[in-house]
Amino acid sequence: MRLAVATLREAPAAAWEGQAAGALEWDCWETVEHLADDLFAYAVQLGLRTPPLDRDVPFLWESRRPGGPANAVHADRTAGPAGLLQMLEASGALLVSMVRTAPPEVRAHHAYGPASPEASAAMGLVEVLVHTYDLAEGLGLNWTPPDGLCARALARLFPDVPLSGAPWPLLLWATGRAELPGLPHRTAWRWHNEPLA
């Protein structure tokens, strides 16, 4: 999270308004809100003594505009990009705290199957890595995360992806964001939440 936030802080304030986040239909501001919302959602799912497996915790999820992301978390725009990134960092810290304190046998609802704290951490990591990529494209920043983070995320959530080659391009391919020679373009994908053998 700290690497992502440090990278995003390099963008000038003017770059955040209305700038598309890579190939996404959301602008950069909305994409950070979506990312913070994902981290928040994964965290609160783990926070109940007995999390529901068939639905999300019933926060109000709403979009601020047609076609915008439906979030429970929205940043105060008067706080500017600095406030937006504080909200992102706080949501990441919340997920880290919940993953560290939730019993390992807990399972929480996710559309791709019940998620353990370990899977929730991996999902949050993938969200941070790939959405920071989207944001870096839109904001004109360089973003290449460490190979070790990408390799761990791939091994945990994408066991179907062959781990041959550089982990970062493989993660971008696995999430439909890049082409790789000899592999078909992914137009649909999902990660694997079930415990690994």
Q: What is the CATH number of the domain that holds 77?
A: 1.20.120
Q: Is residue 25 part of a domain?
A: yes
At 160 the pLDDT is 87
Domain residues for the domain of 167 are 2-174
For residue 191, being part of any structural domain is answered with no
Residue 144 lies in a domain: yes
For residue 182, the model assigns a pLDDT of 87
State the total domains in the chain. Answer: 1
User: What whole-number distance in Å separates Cα of residue 154 and Cα of residue 149?
Assistant: 9
Residue 187 forms part of a structural domain: no
Answer whether residue 194 is part of any domain.
Answer: no
pLDDT tens sequence for the chain (197 residues):
999 999 999 999 989 988 999 999 999 999 999 999 999 999 999 998 888 889 999 999 999 999 899 999 999 999 999 999 999 999 999 999 999 999 999 999 999 999 999 999 999 999 999 999 999 999 999 999 999 999 999 999 999 888 788 999 999 999 999 999 988 998 888 999 888 76
What is the C-alpha to C-alpha distance for residues 98 and 83, in angstroms, rounded to an integer? 23
Residue 189 covered by a domain = no
Inside any domain, residue 193 = no
Cα separations (Å) of 40 from 80, 121, 169? 20, 11, 27
Only one residue has tokens 């990591």, namely: 125
pLDDT of residue 52: 85
Residue 126 falls inside a structural domain: yes
pLDDT at position 164 is: 82
Distant-in-sequence, close-in-space partners of 49: CB < 8 Å, separation ≥ 6 = none
